Structure 1
Amino acid sequence: MSSTRRRALHAAVELVGGEGIRALTHGRVDAAAGLPPGSTSNHFRTRAALLAGVIEWIATEERSDAGLPSISTRDDLVRGLARMIEVQSGPQALRTRARYALFIEADVETSRPLLDQRATFEAWIRGILRQLGGPPAEQQTRFVMAMAEGLLLHRMTVDPEAPVEAVIARAVDAALAP
């Protein structure tokens, strides 16, 4: 990927995460990235193409950052989920805000990279719950996912310092309960 394209996509994520979806224009991206006017439109001819490019970029960046940890115990799962939520609501908060805004704005096909990534994460959680608690725990995958998503949204919108580990521990314990 060219450095111009990379700079444009990075700037686009920061614009959407910091100012909302309406900030996503070719000219604003050029300015934020310190690129000559027209540079972003050379890579993304339309706003729809820019939107799709940003979504793909976020999915790619999140996959490269994720490094899904190896989980073999309940405590590993609690710590792993807590760390992910803390990173997504802390150092990667702008990217998380951009992901939320883009999920709302984009149609299903355009948001496919994010939906596929979420499905991969859900399968990862499902496998861990099955390993730790068998089929009854596996059936709690959506509960654990909803808790994690809700906790992340709460930290992003209401209380950025809300404790996460104790809440996650209660949800994991409920999912693993016989």
Structure 2
Amino acid sequence: MPDRRTAVLEAAIQLLAEGGAKGLSHRAIDRALRIPLGSTANYFPTRQSLVEAILLQIEARDLQAYHQMDPGSGLHDVDDVVATLVSFVRVAALEGGGVHTRARLALASGGGRDLSEHRRRQVAGLAELVASVGTPDPYRVALTVSALMDGTVLHLMTGQLELDEEATRLALRTLLGH
């Protein structure tokens, strides 16, 4: 069982995924967890501190999902990198990561918060992966790869397309210059 702080964050993520940014409040989290009112505020006194913790929790879950796809062996060729990125899209949109993705989208679209630092950290991590296969200008390419992945995830989650893994692999290989 997760500790109380983690449970609060996971409940907040679930509320965001289900009701958007307007549905997120300290009281709503307390009610969802059936804990005394004011408990969430003991961990996160302001909405800003709560949102920042949610973003860090989502990043941690993303990193955990990535490590499950690449359990330390390292990705050294373009086929491994592309396969991992396609798997990440599948997980983010269609499997367990969907809740975290919807929460992230809720914060981005209605959270009234600048997510640029969160985005920079995501792209920097992706740039390291892109650089591992010798792609020139890895940060710039990572921005485009990220946009492709984000768009694909959004379309998958809204039922606008099915995951065409072969087309996604081809697009990623093209962006990576291979």
Q: Contact 1:81–1:168 at 8 Å: present in 2 too? A: no
1:153-172 to structure 2, matched below 5 A, reads 153-159=154-160, 162-172=162-172
Matching residue of 2:84: 80
Higher mean alpha-carbon deviation, 75-84 vs 142-151, is at 142-151
Residue 140 to residue 59, structure 1, CA distance change in 2 (3 Å):
closer
What's the CA shift for 1:106?
Answer: 4.7
Q: Contact 2:128–2:138 at 8 Å: present in 1 too? A: no
Matching residue of 2:113: 107
1:22-171 to structure 2, matched below 5 A, reads 22-67=22-67, 69=70, 70-89=74-93, 90-104=95-109, 105-108=111-114, 112=117, 114-130=118-134, 134-135=135-136, 140-159=141-160, 162-171=162-171
Q: Contact 2:8–2:29 at 8 Å: present in 1 too? A: yes
Q: Percent identity?
A: 26
User: Could you state the TM-score of these two structures normalised by the residue count of structure 2?
Assistant: 0.80
The one-letter code of the counterpart of 2:126 is: E
Question: Stretches of 4+ moved more than 6 A in 1?
Answer: 136-139
* Structure 1: runs of 5 or more not aligned: none
C-alpha distance in structure 2 between counterparts of 1:54 and 1:176, whole Å: 31
Q: Contact 1:137–1:175 at 8 Å: present in 2 too? A: no
C-alpha distance in structure 2 between counterparts of 1:141 and 1:42, whole Å: 38
Q: Contact 2:123–2:139 at 8 Å: present in 1 too? A: no
C-alpha distance in structure 2 between counterparts of 1:13 and 1:84, whole Å: 19
Q: Superposition RMSD on alpha carbons, in Å?
A: 2.6
The one-letter code of the counterpart of 1:50 is: L
What's the CA shift for 1:28?
Answer: 0.7
Q: Contact 1:26–1:41 at 8 Å: present in 2 too? A: yes
* Structure 2: runs of 5 or more not aligned: none
Q: Contact 1:129–1:138 at 8 Å: present in 2 too? A: no
